[in-house]
Amino acid sequence: MKAAVVRSKNDGYVDLIDDWQPRALGFGDALVDLEYVGLCHTDLHCAAGDFGDPNTLGQRNGNFRRVIGHEGVGIVSKLGEGADQYLKIGDRVSIAWFYSGCGVCDYCVTGNETFCRKALNSGYTIDGAMSQQAVVDAKYAVKVPEGLDPVEATSITCAGVTMYKALKVGETKPGQWVSVHGAGGLGNLAVQYAHNVFNAHVAVADGNPDKLAAAKAAGAEVLANYHTDDVVAKINEATGGVHNAQVTAVNDAAFSQAVNVLRTKGKLVAVALPQGDMSLNIAKTVLDGIEVRGSLVGTREDLKEAFQFGAEGKVKPIVETIDFADLNDAIDDMKNSKITGRKVVDFTKL
Ligand SMILES: NC(=O)c1ccc[n+]([C@@H]2O[C@H](COP(=O)([O-])OP(=O)(O)OC[C@H]3O[C@@H](n4cnc5c(N)ncnc54)[C@H](O)[C@@H]3O)[C@@H](O)[C@H]2O)c1
Ligand SMILES: CCCCCCO
Ligand SMILES: [Zn+2]
Ligand SMILES: [Zn+2]
């Protein structure tokens, strides 16, 4: 069976193997035949060992290296004992970063399950979705609603739910201004959810003109190219300062820009995971009562909500399907900021 696994040298790329086997189904597990799996920038961080070597972390599947992927969508083909109370054969389900939690800790029982200290994360501490088959915990595999295109559903499984949740974390209200720093896979969907679901005004910064054009088409009213514009001046001049700033840029400079475009009592929502630390304007943070909040994917409930907005056509991910064999080329394209929206591996062609 084909799977994309983290290389032993953690060079940011994957090995495409064809002798992979899913682990045996345990109690409450289900087997999923993957249809489509999107490439998230987090997959590149994982493959590079940015958060530690996934080949040595979490649950092991025999001698196999870690399978990446957490924007997966596929069909349930087999149920382990006890799984039939949650799923049935033929259900279309998602495989998200939040693979499972303990279910009983303070975070799991208060709507904050993604922060569970015993959480397993797909493609990092447990095998992910970038394979022909994957094992899921039936309690945690959120179903994809009827009416939502499965290819588009892959993008909502991480990028979409993450930004839908991050806009909630930013307490976004109708008529407010939101800035989105980074118009990539997450950023474009941030614009769509902010404009179409939260009814907010949006300013966007990126360095790729195609992505800025896509953000404008998605509803952004202010566009700043960090190669040619003074991002802070342009956004402040156009908005008077934003109510919350969403940082999806894989670049620590964007965090500084984000603080400096906030109005008094504004909120910086940290989403992106570049290496390094945030350097924040201390005077601005103190004198303007700025809040810095981290946001991590979304809960199962957040994902259900984010999917529903997709099924209703309120958000439409930009997706391009690719062959499994071309996955490392896609990683290259993402590293070079050449992907507008998402590239999605088509497993139905294998
Ligand atoms: N917190 C979470 O729950 C969560 C979830 C998903 C992804 N992420 C992280 O979010 C980041 C983005 O993921 P993605 O899949 O959207 O990546 P992506 O590569 O599709 O997009 C990143 C974008 O940042 C832009 N960029 C780079 N430097 C910039 C700058 N200084 N100002 C503005 N834009 C800049 C790039 O041009 C690119 O368009 C990654 O670090 C990923 O790991 C976090
Ligand atoms: C630690 C990485 C968190 C990223 C979530 C899914 O992209
Ligand atoms: Zn992701
Ligand atoms: Zn827990």
Q: 139, 233, 250: which is closest to 187 by C-alpha?
A: 250
Residues 35, 144 share a domain: yes
- Supply the pLDDT for residue 339: 97
Q: What is the pLDDT of residue 5?
A: 98
Which ligand is nearest the CA of 208, by number? 1
ipTM of this predicted structure: 0.99
Is residue 7 domain-shared with residue 99, that is, in the same domain?
yes
Q: Which residues contact 34 (CB under 8 A, 6 or more apart)?
A: 72, 73, 74, 95, 129, 130, 131, 132, 133, 134, 347
Buried b (16+ CB within 10 A) or exposed e, 249-268: bbbeebbbbbbbbbbeebbb
Residue 280: pLDDT band with limits 50, 70, 90:
confident
Residues 150 and 74 in one domain: yes
Q: Same domain, yes or no, for 344 and 242?
A: no
Do 144 and 11 belong together in one domain? yes
Mean pLDDT of 18-36: 98
Residue 180 lies in a domain: yes
Q: What pLDDT does 279 receive?
A: 86
Kindly compute the dihedral angle of the four CA atoms of residues 300, 47, 185, 129, in this order, to the nearest 10 degrees.
-40
Residues 287 and 179 in one domain: yes
> Ligand 1 pocket test: which of 192, 248, 335, 338 has the largest number of ligand atoms within 8 Å of its C-beta?
248
Look at residue 63 and tell me if it is in a domain. Answer: yes
| pLDDT tens, residue by residue, 102-140 | 999 999 999 999 999 999 999 999 999 999 999 999 999
Rounded Cα distance between 89 and 199, Å, is: 38
- Do 202 and 123 lie in one domain? The reply is no
Range of the domain at 126: 3-156+316-349
Report which DSSP code applies to 213: H
Q: Is the pLDDT of residue 61 over 90?
A: yes
Distances (CA, A) of 83 to 19, 25, 27, 79, 141: 27, 10, 7, 6, 11
Same-domain check for residues 274 and 175: yes
Residues 149 and 175 in one domain: no
Spatial separation of the C-alpha atoms in residues 152 and 38, rounded to whole Å = 9
* 159-203 pLDDT tens trace: 999 999 999 999 999 999 999 999 999 999 999 999 999 999 999
Residue 319 pLDDT class (50, 70, 90 cuts): very high
Pocket of ligand 2 (CB under 6 A): 40, 42, 51, 70, 97, 158, 273, 297
Q: How far apart are CA 307 and CA 154, in angstroms?
A: 10
What CATH number corresponds to the domain at position 276?
A: 3.40.50.720
Rounded Cα distance, 167 and 163, in Å: 6
Q: How far is the CA of 273 from the centre of ligand 1 (A)?
A: 8
- Sequence-distant (6+) residues with CB within 8 A of 195 are 201, 202, 218, 219, 220
Q: Among 39, 41, 43, 320, which is best to mutate for testing ligand 1, by the most ligand atoms less than 8 A from CB?
A: 41
Pair (9, 130) in one structural domain: yes
Q: What CATH number does residue 334 fall under?
A: 3.90.180.10
Closest residue by CA, ligand 1 atom 29: 249
Number of domains in the chain: 2
Mean pLDDT of the 283-297 span: 97
Do 146 and 57 belong together in one domain?
A: yes
User: How many other CB atoms are found less than 10 A from the CB of residue 186?
Assistant: 28
